[in-house]
A and B are shown apart, each in its own frame.
Chain A
Amino acid sequence: MALSAQQIPRWFNSAKLRSLINAAQLTKCFTRPGRTLLHGFSAQPQISSDNCFLQWGFKTYKTSSLWNSSESTSSSSQENNSTQSSLLPSMDEQSQKTQKIPSFDSELFLEELDELPPLSPMQPISEEEAIQIIADPPLPPASFTLRDYVDHSETLQKLVLLGVDLSKIEKHTEAANLLLRLDFEKDIKQMLLFLKDVGIKDNQLGAFLTKNHAIFSEDLENLKIRVAYLHSKNFSKADVAQMVTKAPFLLNFSVERLDNRLGFFQKELELSVKKTRDLVVRLPRLLTGSLEPVKENMKVYRLELGFKHNEIQHMITRIPKMLTANKRKLTETFDFVHNVMSIPHHIIVKFPQVFNTRLFKIKERHLFLSYLGRAQYDPAKPNYISLDKLVSIPDEIFCEEIAKASVQDFDKFLKHFRFLCTLKCNIVK
């Protein structure tokens, strides 16, 4: 069951908060310093904070009304004591037991402040009381960025230290709201321990959480069931760890959905169970992505490009990315390789990397070789150049070993002579 925004931050029930003061010497000007009192003070009953927020929101911060409204919904369901429905968890629970700092609470609400007599700044107060006046600048009640809250929220600080990229999460307002309300010790820690159990390494946790921030709203039980399902399908622990790292949304899929997808791949590709498993472990985003491109690509390979089924299977086990490649790029690459370079199907099958490289690279290198007279792709003839050497090695090595020319010559060719060659290549033979 997901943690909804209504199920509010559980710190409301903490007893400490009851003693927190609603430093409510606030009237319209919210820069007025709050005041801490060392003794328990009964918290003020909170008037429906809906209009409070509206007033706050419109005063200075008109942005991000989502936060405003979610804040008001959350506070409407609170109990009597939860006057301090702050936007932040009480960060100072641990550190400031002696000091009750409602600083960030203080400015959040407009109260009906009839109970307390208004403080006049001219009133003389003792030294001790003076010291205890807290006059921090107020936190904005609504903001479009988490930067404003990061210094005051332990959760956010710990997440940053883990490596989570807050600047990406703040673009999703629901996720950002959720993170602000969650308590590190209670909620996030459990999730992190679970993820470590699954096998994600510490240095990858940050990237994982940045991508899949929605995992905090998933139920831990469900996640455990899904991991158990994957284990039951004979995915080893290391396999599952690798899959989850590469495709962070994998565990958000229900067991049924995962089952359907695995079944689809098995039927479509007609590979053995072990090979399907290897394929999925290498490219787990096959399970999380859409299935339409895969279906289309299979048809393209068979009907348009003319590969036989066993050839397709071989190529896919070598380069799983081919299943999700762009159809137009595939056809363009194949057109050049097969028609212009005159490479027959059976050689292409041996080197499926050509479908994984950019077309311009293949074109430039091939034109250079043909200009030099070294474009020999037939294994039977001497000076044969294999396709994987053509596409996979970096420029310097290619120039020196394969083309037997320098990199400057290659550059010169590209600028000055390449356009002379295009015509001959375009003529259909």
Chain B
Amino acid sequence: MGSAGLSRLHGLFAVYKPPGLKWKHLRDTVELQLLKGLNAGKPPTPKQRVRFLLGPMEGSEEKELTLTATSVPSLVNHPLVCGPAFTHLKVGMGHRLDTQASGVLVLGVGHGCRLLTDMYDAHLTKVRGSGDSLLLPWSFPGGHQQDSEPILSRYLCTDNYLPFPDHVTREKLDRILAMIQGSHQKALVMYSNLDLKTQEAYEMAVRGLIRPMNKSPMLITGIRCLHFAPPEFLLEVQCMHETQKELRKLVHEIGLELKTTAVCSQVRRTRDGFFTLDSALLRTQWDLRNIQDAIQAAAPQVAAELEKSLGPQLDTKQLPSPGWSWESQGPSSTLGLERGAGH
């Protein structure tokens, strides 16, 4: 394999990160597996070197000496002398996932690392399922951080269990989610640095193409409740520039709005740009063959999406910001709700 394998190893692919695994360990594991696969190929053919040997000439009575050239095998190329052919691979990581979160994680290999920055610039949305948040019927003493599981297991015990409050219903939850989405819509417009009075901005808004092109806090373009079975519920969030901490805080705030407490127990990324769960590789598939196939499979899609997103198409005002380009399309739905009064 060797260099032939290496040439097929440039591009982006998605990996499913299981919960409990640090992202750095994942990256290192993938690199090690790839190197193992690359080094397993057949060793290079041994080099030859030419030596000139002094010896008596054939068929002469005198002791005449002459030089004869012989090709002698050399051990310079031998794998036991040089070591493994590949010792380092450039493997880059897309948007990070913290230890407890799981889901789609985009990695880039070789030249694909360049595409990672392009992907970051494209500001595509990510979909998160914030699964199985718990609505708890009593409130914790004092404020508490959204560290979900460890706290959960410490506080929950059957003797203290209170019946689930009646006032928490699906409609209330939906209403709150709509409020959140509306307020984030407003923030979206603010961070996209568009001058709202222009015609172009109106056209963009109509088509739903407004998005923030610089650093911004987490912005939610869509949120809905997939599954509500008290005390658990499952949220699907479409967002940009998010961090897992902010998502967990979001769940906490939803709980507060419902006049109870909610804890986020698991965060899972189901989609990152155009990489979905289906194309993500599981732990058993982190080897050379599968990764090469995944890169090949994703390559046309990656090229198409990045070209669409980063190609200059709309004639809008471009604000001076180094290295960032306008994105011209992307999925998002707009809801025109204004945020109601907070509590």
Contact = CB atoms under 8 A, between A and B. Distances in A.
Contacts of A364: 18
Interface stretch (B33-41, B78-86, B246-254): B78-86
Given A165-B80, A167-B82, A426-B152, A419 B277 contact: no
Contacts of A319: none
A404 B258 CA distance: 43
Nearest to A416: B277
A423 interface: yes
B81 A423 contact: no
A414 B156 CA distance: 26
Contacts of A427: 152-153, 156
A157 B75 contact: yes
Contacts of B18: 360, 364, 414, 418
A131 interface: yes
B157 A147 contact: no
Contacts of A166: 80-81
Q: How large is the interface on A (under 10, 10 to 19, 20 to 34, 35 or more residues)?
A: 20 to 34
A161 to B, nearest CB: 9
A409 interface: no
Interface stretch (B114-122, B181-189, B279-287, B294-302): B279-287
Contacts, number: 87
B74 interface: yes
A143 to B, nearest CB: 13
A305 to B, nearest CB: 19
Contacts of B283: 360
Nearest to B83: A167
Interface string A398-429: 00000000000001001110111011001111
Contacts of A395: 284
Interface string B129-140: 101101000000
B128 to A, nearest CB: 11
A160 interface: yes
B19 A419 contact: yes
B75 A423 contact: no
Nearest to A210: B80
Contacts of B156: 427-428
A150 interface: yes
Contact of A423 (B134, B282, B284): B134
B265 interface: yes
A423 B132 contact: yes
Contact of B268 (A164, A419, A428): A419
Nearest to A168: B83
Interface in B147-182: 149, 152-153, 156-158
Interface string B31-54: 000000000000000000100001
Nearest to A135: B52
17 contacts: A98-B54, A150-B76, A156-B75, A157-B75, A165-B83, A167-B80, A167-B82, A167-B84, A360-B20, A411-B282, A419-B132, A422-B149, A423-B134, A423-B265, A426-B149, A427-B156, A429-B158
Interface of B: 16, 18-21, 49, 54, 64-67, 74-76, 78, 80-84, 102, 129, 131-132, 134, 149, 152-153, 156-158, 232, 265-266, 268, 277-278, 280, 282-284
Interface of A: 98-99, 128, 131-132, 146-147, 150-151, 156-157, 160, 163-168, 360, 364, 395, 411, 414-416, 418-420, 422-423, 426-429
For the complex of A and B, list the 6 residue pairs with the smallest distance between their C-beta atoms, beginning with the closest.
A167-B83, A423-B132, A419-B266, A150-B75, A166-B81, A423-B265
